[in-house]
Structure 1
Amino acid sequence: MSGPGAPPAPRRRRQAAAAPDGPGMPPHYLGHRQRLRERFAASPETLPDYELLELVLFGAITRGDVKPIAKALIARFGSFAEVVSAPPELLGETKGVGPAVIHALKLVEAAARRVALGAVRNRQVLGSWSSVLDYCRTAMAFAEREEFRLLFLDKKNGLIGDEVMQRGTVDHTPVYPREVLRRALQLNASALILVHNHPSGDPAPSRADIEMTREIVSLAEPMGIVVHDHLIIGRKGHASFRALGLL
């Protein structure tokens, strides 16, 4: 309707500048994946944890922006290592994390353990001590519950077995020294390295840890089995009974 009696036409609002994600505009993360891949190829050690995690998530979430998910996981668990080591049920509590993401993260965890174990397997363990520590940290440092692990060695101190003997609670694992020695005899092991973790993060040995270790040593000696060390692994580092003078 127009003419002298017609109501004034409504003013057109001035269109605001389109946001990066506005209609017809490319998403703000367009090209981010390729740029991040190029940065990783050039200098992988410089990427912060959340960006390394993004690269893992690219395979599980093929489209869209995964940075918010990566940052949420780091905020929840603390670091890249703690994210890939977290229990699946806890990972699934983070928005955007489904079965495909959990599978990708657990695959990274399994690969890291396999690489660390490869540096120890078929080698003279006492001559590769830093690799032993790396493997134990990779396998146990971020576990939610205590685990008691045994590394079985032959006469040349080569690794012939690696077994988790017991799993317990957040602060206790029942260990049966006679079962430890029975298994060592079954594998014809000549030496042992005892390993367990402290989920609290503090690797300092407890009185119970010391007493249990002494009992295993006392049973092993008459059988000609040497206990080289007892390692306690925590988020904040590790403790060695031998280095502490407890063996």
Structure 2
Amino acid sequence: MIRTKTAALRTLGILVMGIITQSCHSQDFDLSALVLPVTESSITSKFKLEDQKFQTAGLDEYISLEKEVLYFEGKSLYGSIDNSPTTSYLANNVRFYIDKKTNQVEAYRLETKTTAETSKLEKALEAKFGKTFYYYKDPDMNFRIWEYKGNTYFLEVNSTTVYNGQQTVTGDLCVVNNKSEVFYNYYLAGGFGYYQDYLRAKKKSQKKVYTYNDFLNEMKAEGRDYYLKKVVR
């Protein structure tokens, strides 16, 4: 009787551990782990993507609002304004940009419409990459760039957005394969425009290592102080 009870308890323990292990490993996709390019099938085999029926910088755009796709550095970024998780206009989402000639995902764009998830995204990027070398900030918006393994991470955070009368802080993270030149250059505009100027200066520089701080110092020496306004160093 005692042996039977002991065996039953052992079996129960194994089942509980199995459930815990399965729970710990249930999230097997994380956007932060993607190093672009990746095959289209590596995404479509896991998630249903909706074809947006248009191109951005030569790449076809597909969108997903699924909860399981909205993870970054282990943090869930699932959420929406007015509890509307199936409306792309109001819901956090990710868009994949695919070269249909090669069936490769060359970029993705993660949009957070909710303040809490935007904050999570900012903290996750800082935890993964540390202090960024490109950081322009004013009271309403900021622009940051990180580079990692041949990918560039463009982050825009906007605290002036209003959806359905509700003010929120939004995040727009675009991750691009640097070799996808048309799309990469497409993103070098607006708040990221100074980075394009830096890249041009870097090509001309004789220095083996030429950082963004080097560029800023040169601009200051040349009297072009506008490059230093709003920059966080």
Q: TM-score range by the shorter chain?
A: under 0.3
**Higher alpha-carbon Rg:** 1
Q: Which has the higher contact order (CA 8 A, sep 6+)?
A: 2
Tell me which protein shows more helix as a share of its residues.
1
Tell me the TM-score normalised to structure 1 length.
0.25
For normalisation by structure 2, the TM-score amounts to 0.26
